[in-house]
DNA sequence: CGCGCTGTTGAAACTTGTCAAAGTTTGTGG
DNA sequence: CCACAAACTTTGACAAGTTTCAACAGCGCG
């Protein structure tokens, strides 16, 4: 089993977490590949890495050479402006890829931080390009993943450009709910891994505005929220809120 | 010279606009390819298409099969919400690619509209993937282009999430200036192809706010603007405005 | 067990949106 | 080529939404 640190003896745990034995098949890069193809992909995932909460996976300005698949845990990515302003550009959970921003210049353009203890698989990008040339399915799937990221970003732009505070938070909660559902968790109950400030940064709002919107949703019986624990009581209600309001400040 | 309409005789004009004879080498997909490689790419650019101002290149919901390179002219892309709200997600000029959003689901997720009479080269995506498997340089360059789009989107998210109206407009004008410069035009003087409303939609502002910001920049001697004609008088001034203000409403 | 980080809430200030009116340019048809 | 209509832009006054500032409460980590 190839591993960057060649001298290190290979533990059973590492073998078991190769793509072919990973339960993220249907979410992650191996999606749609045949058994044989996944085994080829195994050779490519050179390295796993564990991160503690708060640790950086990479920082803006660092050289890029791998993309990362989240194996467990939760991440945020953010960009900084010279004057110190920060924008969270995304939250990544199990099976999602990190580092696509670095392909462009071979320098990472954002920071990736673990919001809880996490584990990632590093995929050296040149190897991925190599294997993509052999396995059409992998090539096509990778292109779809990049494109999906672009479409997702357009959704965030729509949110930031046209929605008011409560609509943004509703959209955010519904998006999380959907992604947790896709991973086999409850659509209606989850723990937020990020602070109000990080939610606010992602949604283009101040933390106080986020907090007030949470309180308002609770008053209206849409959700039950206590700190980071959220229970969605009325999904259709949130959807309606997101779509039928007008204008923005 | 392969062409979708096989029965159509090939005009000299069409031959002349193959990648190998196109003056967009250094901006467009053939960037960095050898002469031989560009000739292979020629075979791939199956079709040119002319569009009148206001015409749609594609619409959200239509099946995707090609990406497009802008040969001349100017485009916008936008997304619509069910309730009618619209967000312009980008403006594309010469040498830039359109349609990357469609790869993900094989359905276009946004609309692309010509803002002036324009011409595009259609590149069937499956052919591009095929040729990418042969030509590493092309594969890598295409990945960089997609990644660059992701990075650009992060920049827009930063703009929408953290900047106030005048900062957004300053950033917008500086970005246009830079892109015109890269195409050999003046960095300081250009015609806007889009309306105040379209600028506003892109920047997450109402058209009146955009108009007021233009007026304010003019009062302050940063630009001279008359309708769609813009002359930037003080580029450092705009940069400073973009970076050193704080807070947002 | 307390200190710091995080979250909540209130009141005032500020930015941007909304509505309205008038001016300007562009495009069309006679 | 002119005249008129439609589309776009500018500007003002007011309203609404979000931020700012401030105080306090709660949770969790050391």
Query: Chain C: nucleotides under 7 Å from a protein CB?
Result: 6-11, 14-20, 24-26
Which among B151, B171, B242, B243 is the top mutation candidate for probing chain A, defined by the most A β-carbons within 10 Å of its own β-carbon? B151
Query: Does the structure show a pLDDT above 90 at A21?
Result: no
Does A155 sit within 8 Å of B83, measured CB to CB? Answer: no
- A228-231: list long-range contacts, CB under 8 Å, 24+ apart: A228/A191, A228/A192, A228/A193, A229/A189, A229/A190, A229/A191, A229/A192, A230/A173, A230/A189, A230/A190, A230/A191, A230/A192, A231/A188, A231/A189
* Closest Cβ–Cβ partner in A81, A160, A244 for B204: A160
CATH code for the part of the protein at B163-244: 1.10.10.10
Query: Does the structure show a pLDDT above 60 at B10?
Result: no
Per-residue pLDDT, B119: 94
| Residue A14 C-alpha, separation from nearest chain B C-alpha, in angstroms | 30
| Residue B110 C-alpha, separation from nearest chain A C-alpha, in angstroms | 9
For nucleotide D26, the protein residue with its alpha carbon nearest to C1' is A227
Per-residue pLDDT, A83: 87
Per-residue pLDDT, A244: 72
| Topology adopted by domain A12-135 | Jelly Rolls (2.60.120)
Please, which pLDDT band fits residue B243 given cuts at 50, 70 and 90? confident
For residue range A118-160, list pLDDT tens digits in order. 999 999 999 999 999 999 999 999 999 999 999 999 999 999 9
Per-residue pLDDT, A17: 66
For residue range A154-182, list pLDDT tens digits in order. 999 999 999 999 999 999 999 999 999 99
Please, which pLDDT band fits residue A249 given cuts at 50, 70 and 90? very low
For residue range B98-123, list pLDDT tens digits in order. 999 999 999 999 999 999 999 999 99
Q: Which nucleotide is nearest to A226 (CA to C1')?
A: C7
- Count other C-beta atoms under 10 Å from residue B233's C-beta: 15
**Å between B99 CA and C11 C1'?**
49
Closest by Cα among B66, B23, B21 to B39: B21
Contact between the CB of A247 and strand D at under 7 Å: yes
Contact between the CB of A206 and strand D at under 7 Å: yes
| Residue B243 C-alpha, separation from nearest chain A C-alpha, in angstroms | 6
Count residue pairs from A and B with Cβ separation < 8 A.
151
Does A151 sit within 8 Å of B146, measured CB to CB? Answer: no
Query: Does the structure show a pLDDT above 70 at B73?
Result: yes
Please, which pLDDT band fits residue B77 given cuts at 50, 70 and 90? very high
Query: Chain D: nucleotides under 7 Å from a protein CB?
Result: 8-13, 16-22, 27-28
Query: Which residues have a Cβ under 8 Å from the Cβ of A16 and sit 6 or more positions away?
Result: none
Per-residue pLDDT, B103: 98
Pinpoint the residues of chain B covered by CATH 2.60.120.10. 12-149
Taken as a whole, chain B contains a residue count of 249
Pinpoint the residues of chain A covered by CATH 2.60.120.10. 12-135
Per-residue pLDDT, A18: 82
Per-residue pLDDT, B107: 98
CATH code for the part of the protein at B12-149: 2.60.120.10
**Å between B231 CA and C21 C1'?**
29
Dist. CA A155–CA B107, nearest whole Å: 16
For nucleotide D10, the protein residue with its alpha carbon nearest to C1' is B211
Pinpoint the residues of chain A covered by CATH 1.10.10.10. 163-244
Q: Are B27 and B94 in contact (CB under 8 A)?
A: yes
A227-246 average pLDDT score: 89
Dist. CA A200–CA A208, nearest whole Å: 8
Q: Which residues of B fall within a CB distance of 8 Å from A85?
A: 158, 162-163
Q: Which residues of A fall within a CB distance of 8 Å from B103?
A: 143-144, 146-147
């Amino acid at each position: 089993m190839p591993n960057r640190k060649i001298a290190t003896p290979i533990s059973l745990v590492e073998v078991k977490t190769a793509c072919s034995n990973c339960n993220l098949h249907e979410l992650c890069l191996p999606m749609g590949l045949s058994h044989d193809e996944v085994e080829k992909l195994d050779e490519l995932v050179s390295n796993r890495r564990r991160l503690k909460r708060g640790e950086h996976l990479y920082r803006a300005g660092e050289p890029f050479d791998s993309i990362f698949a989240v194996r467990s845990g939760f991440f945020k990515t953010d960009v900084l402006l010279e004057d110190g302003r920060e924008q969270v550009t995304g939250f990544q959970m199990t099976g999602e890829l990190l580092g696509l921003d670095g392909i462009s210049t071979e320098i990472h353009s954002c920071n990736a931080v673990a919001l809880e203890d996490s584990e990632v698989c590093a995929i050296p990008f040149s190897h991925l390009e190599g294997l993509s040339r052999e396995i059409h399915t992998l090539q096509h799937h990778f292109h779809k993943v990049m494109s999906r990221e672009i479409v997702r970003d357009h959704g965030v732009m729509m949110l930031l450009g046209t929605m008011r505070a409560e609509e943004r938070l509703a959209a955010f909660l519904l998006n999380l709910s959907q992604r947790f559902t896709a991973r086999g968790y409850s659509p209606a109950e989850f723990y937020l891994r990020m602070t109000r400030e990080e939610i606010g940064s992602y949604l283009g709002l101040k933390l106080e505005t986020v907090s007030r919107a949470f309180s308002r949703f609770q008053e209206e019986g849409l959700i039950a929220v206590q700190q980071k624990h959220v229970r969605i009581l009325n999904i259709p209600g949130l959807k309606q809120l997101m779509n039928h309001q007008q204008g923005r400040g």
